[in-house]
């Protein structure tokens, strides 16, 4: 069984509150996260504004906290330790930190601190501006071909005074690719993708050009934070965003590389399916990853644990 943890964009006000209201094991998670980052994140998650929650430095630890609240409730209140059911863990971008926490590699408090630092570093890494866009209906090969043509033309329509960065940030599925880079380059590329038959191009509401070389300034702050963290051997391997393979060590370097590298999610899920995974469970807010898995590997049965009711249903089926 594969346990998956969501990334940024899955956040919503009120997520996890049904667990918080019922189980002390969930409240313990939220309280530990609040204390670790010296900020009342729980109050923001349950009662704050969408604009504040979507800020990268808030969304990242918030989504992790909700995922880990579900993990803790499953273990302590439903007697279901997911590490004993898992063959692999995986998480999309920040979700990889949730996966590492669930696999016992990093403590909950350290995970919260790392994500707070990571979020702040990512938000401030590109002060001159950058953006991301989802390209729907084209596969990775076509998207990379178009990007290569734009680079060969030296971004002829753009300002030559500045080298424009434009690259694949997320390979989410065969028909959903996310690009990242300087804002003008992304906007021009969106028009080009439409010429090549993209069904849709959607600008993403994010605070920076994540998973691109423009995140290089975020590497040093994260490296410093990672240097103070104790990494343990995982109870089960993690399918890395960077390698799209099962990993059991070298997580510090993988997390640093992840900042400036594409999220190889399609390949990661193909790796899981090719290694006899027939069931995948997404734990935390939303259901994005289960939806992607249905497109990548339709034979894999997917389930979401994103509410108290869903957690109860999962425990009945397991």
Other Cβ atoms less than 10 A from the Cβ of 244: the count is: 21
| Catalytic residue from among 67, 98, 211, 285 | 211
Within the chain, how many helices (H) and strands (E) appear?
15, 10
Cα dist from 318 to 15, 267, 301, whole Å: 24, 27, 13
Measuring CA to CA, which residue among 147, 127, 143, 169 is closest to residue 155? Answer: 147
Measuring CA to CA, which residue among 70, 48, 9, 27 is closest to residue 202? Answer: 9
SS3 call for 171: strand
Q: Which residues pair with 90 in a beta bridge?
A: 4
SS3 call for 166: strand
Q: Which residues pair with 282 in a beta bridge?
A: 4, 304
SS3 call for 104: coil
Is 283 within 8 Å of 303 (Cβ atoms)?
no
Place of tokens 């979020």: 119
Question: Could you report how far apart the first and last alpha carbons of the chain are, in Å?
Answer: 11
| Catalytic residue from among 10, 42, 67, 93 | 93
Report the alpha-carbon angle 61-107-285, nearest 5: 35
Which strands make up the sheet holding 301-305, listed edge to edge?
A: 246-247, 238-239, 88-91, 2-5, 279-283, 301-305
Largest CA-CA distance found in the chain, in angstroms, rounded: 61
93 is catalytic: yes
Distance from C-alpha of 173 to C-alpha of 188, rounded to nearest angstrom: 23
Place of tokens 């434009």: 166
Write out the catalytic residue numbers: 93, 211
């Amino acid at each position: 069984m594969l346990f998956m943890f969501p990334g940024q964009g899955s956040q919503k006000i009120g997520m996890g509150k049904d667990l918080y209201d019922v189980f002390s094991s969930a409240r313990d998670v939220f309280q530990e996260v609040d204390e670790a980052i010296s900020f009342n994140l729980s109050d923001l998650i349950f009662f704050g504004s969408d604009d504040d929650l979507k800020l990268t430095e808030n969304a990242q630890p918030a989504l992790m906290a909700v995922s880990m609240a579900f993990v803790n409730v499953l273990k302590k209140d439903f007697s279901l330790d997911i590490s004993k059911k898992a063959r692999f863990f995986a998480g999309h971008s920040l979700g990889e930190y949730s996966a590492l926490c669930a696999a016992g590699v990093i403590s909950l408090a350290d995970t919260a601190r790392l994500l707070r630092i990571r979020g702040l570093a990512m938000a401030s890494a590109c002060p001159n501006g950058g953006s991301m866009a989802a390209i729907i209906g084209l596969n990775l090969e076509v998207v990379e071909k178009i990007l290569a043509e734009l680079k060969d033309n030296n971004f002829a329509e753009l300002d030559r005074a500045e080298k424009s960065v434009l690259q694949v940030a997320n390979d989410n599925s065969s028909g959903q690719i996310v690009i990242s880079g300087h804002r003008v380059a992304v906007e021009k590329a969106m028009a080009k993708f439409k010429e090549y038959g993209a069904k849709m191009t959607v600008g993403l509401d994010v605070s920076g050009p994540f998973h691109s070389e423009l995140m290089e300034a975020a590497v040093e702050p994260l490296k410093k934070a990672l240097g103070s963290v104790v990494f343990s051997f995982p109870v089960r391997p993690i399918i890395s965003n960077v390698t799209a393979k099962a990993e059991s060590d070298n997580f510090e370097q993988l997390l640093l590389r992840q900042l400036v590298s594409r999220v190889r999610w399609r390949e990661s899920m193909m790796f899981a399916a090719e290694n006899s995974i027939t069931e995948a469970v997404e734990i935390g807010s939303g259901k994005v990853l289960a939806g992607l898995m249905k497109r990548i590997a339709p034979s894999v049965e997917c389930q979401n644990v994103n509410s108290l009711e869903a957690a109860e249903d999962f425990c009945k089926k397991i």
